[in-house]
Structure 1
């Protein structure tokens, strides 16, 4: 059992540490580049909010689970558990909404001039900051009742058998009251991300078909910023949707099977933290000058046409 705990400590310490470091580096470089260029573009607010929400997800989910393997029993008080779990839920919802917002804005951005979405290209620039703020407010309101069903160390002697042991806190299982609205939000956002991704894949495929008939070496050998930004966002969305669906499967298993063991919490947390850990490195892999890459897509009328 000691070896099992040691392995879990190493896994979550590495995942949380690498994720927080990656998001911190990306955020620092992103803000430094923006201030040095003195230009704050519409997509910058979305990427900044996504990075911050991912950092909070890593700290609020990874750190408590990591500490639980260094200390036995419930080490958090009732108030700390309520605050911590509220932060987990809000940051998770904010990450979902922000990723959906990012894919939506990029889909509108690369839409052709003859499409119906073309009329929204310049109008949508005005709604980036309000949209980010609205995402924060909506998620804070949706999760406002979550602390009611969370308890701390006193739950060790709790007589409730329908609760969920989170290893460091305890979730009373008035399940339907706490997940209906957030689940509708998740379904809506994930569905929107899938639709946006399909649309962007269609546009990229059509662009690829056009490029095949262009015999100019210069045009065919160089990938334009719009294509690179779209490919990056598609990878982000694909990574998020995959991790989200797998994580939901384990959560449902934990809810339905009372004696499922702590391994479900460990696997669910690990999968849920994959997206916030990978996303900053995925963005940095596409080029150090990420702000210019993303901003370029906002000022081109077509997808490299």
Structure 2
């Protein structure tokens, strides 16, 4: 086995080892919370949905890439490539938009009660299912090109000029214009929520700064949970901007540098950095979300029912 394939497999294995248990723990924590309390807050529902989508990203891309790199499974034929790339692109973009939805909802959560934005937050919470449905439809449609243009690396299409080598798969486009148009759509799909979530995070940071000045020298008795949730969202957005900023920079380079089109190295780096968000985001959630942290601690330690109830009541 070539050394570069071994290194590639090891990198994807590391993402799988961290990402699968991490996202599974977040999902389990919210399901236990739903079972114990019979309801979840809208922000919790968004985080749960984000963890499910990130789990799909890690499993469909990192786990399958690991199996293929170590030749443990034959997955990437024409049909396999179409399915994997389509599901990966859909879930990857959904992860981005759900992070934006979380940051936007959190910014609405800190507005004064009774304001127009507070009523809008209530409307969003009531129709959260429709928001998820819209995001799924939007990102599914925007990722549909993968079904038409993805092929196995062993097919004759790998000799095409207008294509992107993704190691085990090859994304072939009929013309230079089509690959540039598809690239522009993907960049726009990422940049728009990036700008919006950055704006939402700035609003949160301004609120936190003003609140810290107001309570400076005093001991705040309220708002602690909201502040912790806001800081966690800002941490997720910062992680996203850094990792997907690198991802999109590499994608633009792929579109503009001819040699990059024929090389799988750039594509591997892009997939690695975009999958890194799906791997690290549950770590941030577990470390910063008291509900998730508390449920996992109480469940892992197998505390008595009365003690678990006490633990939940302190979150």
TM-score, length-scaled by structure 1: 0.85
Residue 27 of structure 1 and its aligned partner are, at CA, apart by: 0.4
Residue 47 of structure 1 and its aligned partner are, at CA, apart by: 1.2
Question: CA deviation digits over 1:137-175, x for unaligned, max 9?
Answer: 111122223211111144356431221110111011331
- Distance in 2 between the 1:68 and 1:81 partners? 12
Residue 112 of structure 1 and its aligned partner are, at CA, apart by: 2.6
Task: Within 5 Å, give how 1:1-305 maps onto structure 2.
Answer: 2-71=2-71, 76-113=76-113, 116-155=116-155, 158-173=158-173, 174-214=178-218, 217=219, 219=220, 224-260=224-260, 261-290=263-292
- RMSD of equivalent CA atoms: 2.5
Q: Which runs of 5+ in 2 are unaligned?
A: 296-315
Residue 75 of structure 1 and its aligned partner are, at CA, apart by: 5.5
With a CA cutoff of 8 Å and minimum separation of 6, indicate the structure with the bigger relative contact order.
1
Residue 66 of structure 1 and its aligned partner are, at CA, apart by: 2.2
Q: Which runs of 5+ in 1 are unaligned?
A: 294-305
Question: CA deviation digits over 1:70-101, x for unaligned, max 9?
Answer: 249x9622111111111011101111111111
Work out the number of aligned pairs and report it. 288
- Distance in 1 between the 2:215 and 2:267 partners? 48
Whether contact under 8 Å (2:81, 2:152) holds in the other structure is yes
Question: CA deviation digits over 1:220-247, x for unaligned, max 9?
Answer: 7x87100000000000011011111111
SS at 1:24's partner residue? helix
- Distance in 1 between the 2:155 and 2:3 partners? 28
Distance 1:130 1:2, change over 3 A: same
